[in-house]
Chains A and B, each alone.
Chain A
Amino acid sequence: MDTVAPPPRFDPRGLVELDERVPGTAAIDGDRGSFDARDLTTRQINLELRRLVYELGVREVTVRNPGAKHSLGVGILARCRITFEGSLGYFACGLIDGPEVHVTGRVGWSACENMMSGVCVIEGNAGSLTAAALRGGDVVVRGRVGARTGIDQKGGTVIVLGDAGSMTGFMMQRGRQIICGDAGHGLGDSMYDGTLYVGGKVASLGIDCVPGEWTEADTEFIARKFSIYGLGSPPELQKFVCGKKLYNYDSLEPSERKLVL
């Protein structure tokens, strides 16, 4: 007798690993917790993180051996400190609002995409699309970043100590980027607003990206951020802004204006 396979299960929220349970393996000491992620799946790691931060009120979490798994530390919406001892894969720490994250290794594509607030310090290199659609907070990359860093950025600050790839700041709408090394072709292409600072050579400027006038506010801002993150003395930086020839907010409908605030 043939058996009929049950229909595939579906979660409208897009969850995979539907039956995953919280591993509950973390060691907790006061408001600190840590766990080894080596044998855990992506969802198990994120469930354990949420259990510690949301349910147990742990304020400092250390995740050992993250193994460059993708989508770790996403959607954490609380004030806490999270340290990943190792490297992370794609979409690390996206959609966060509040955490202060420290990654001791590297990260793949799209780290900190759609980050609302908080801090993310990455000791190594970061892939393309770092801080895509960043809304607020600080993303600090001590290594280099790939292409399209801060694409569609709507706020916040990206600091890169090394070089940045092509199309950095593509379609940037607000916020700031400090690139201490060289920047690839098409810097600030089609940007609406925001500020780009570059310490090294710029291969070429993108459409409507023009040199900006340096002010005291720029000096204060750069000095403050370098001091906070212990980055030493800032290099001599060039400032770039939007030339406002291609787009400007005055022509936008009110509803569109709100999308970039």
Chain B
Amino acid sequence: MTDTVSEAQPSGQARPEVERQGQNAGQDAPRRTSITIDAEYLSGHRFPYQEDMSLVEGVDLLAATPGQDINWLEDVELLEEDGVPAVFDRYSNSFLKIYFPIPEGREDEIARKVLIKHLHSGNSYGIALKERHCKFPQPELGPWLEGSRTVGADWTTPVLEGWEPPQH
């Protein structure tokens, strides 16, 4: 995967895991690879709620989840990625880093709120993939938000240009 995000990071920090590929070393546009994938790497930029806790304080976790408790969020906890606090977004298989200071004792709660804000905002990369690739009709923003539009109702078999079916 070509790395284009390190320049887009507001902090200007280089990703520690980015390395130059040998075959491209010394060329004008070196190709880089990364062994980890996080949400801002996939989207090319950070989101405001990664840096400002006030943007997630109002998230109602009980309202955002089925049943009478926080349901699936029970398994979501604050983790760490590249030495930075992060929450895992299972819908895009990527970490969402959290850059603001997290009050002691509220680690998991804040991680869950940041994740729900991310999903409600439609910024999870998995949501972008739904529009393009999902094969069956389903709510674009999943079960986290009421009134989401339906995507996947018009899926057709992809056609590989120039491919002919075998004669047998």
Contacts and interface: CB of A to CB of B under 8 A. Distances in A.
A228 B88 CA distance: 27
Interface string B109-147: 000000000000000000000000001111100110010
A97 interface: yes
A79 B66 CA distance: 7
A228 B66 CA distance: 12
A244 interface: no
Interface string B9-26: 000000000000000000
Contact of A136 (B75, B139, B150, B155): B75
Given A12-B157, A98-B142, A228 B71 contact: no
Interface string A208-248: 00000000000000001000100000000000000000000
Given A79-B146, A98-B143, A156-B72, A138 B67 contact: yes
A75 B136 contact: yes
A207 interface: no
Contact of A77 (B36, B71, B143): B143
B88 A99 contact: no
Given A78-B139, A98-B143, A137 B72 contact: yes
Given A13-B135, A157-B74, A137 B66 contact: yes
Interface in A97-155: 97-100, 116-119, 135-138, 155
B1 interface: no
Nearest to B157: A12
Nearest to B148: A78
B67 A228 contact: yes
Interface of A: 12-13, 50, 54-55, 75, 77-79, 97-100, 116-119, 135-138, 155-157, 174-175, 224, 228, 254, 258, 261
Interface of B: 35-36, 65-69, 71-75, 79, 88, 90, 93, 135-139, 142-143, 146, 150, 155, 157
10 contacts: A75-B136, A98-B142, A116-B72, A118-B67, A119-B71, A136-B72, A174-B75, A228-B67, A228-B68, A254-B35
Given A100-B67, A228-B67, A258-B93, 16 more contacts: A12-B157, A50-B137, A54-B150, A77-B143, A97-B142, A97-B143, A99-B66, A100-B66, A118-B72, A136-B75, A137-B67, A155-B75, A175-B75, A224-B69, A228-B69, A261-B79
Contacts of A116: 72, 90
Contacts of A55: 150
B137 A54 contact: yes
A77 B69 CA distance: 19
A217 to B, nearest CB: 11
A129 B49 CA distance: 40
Contact of B66 (A119, A157, A254, A261): A119
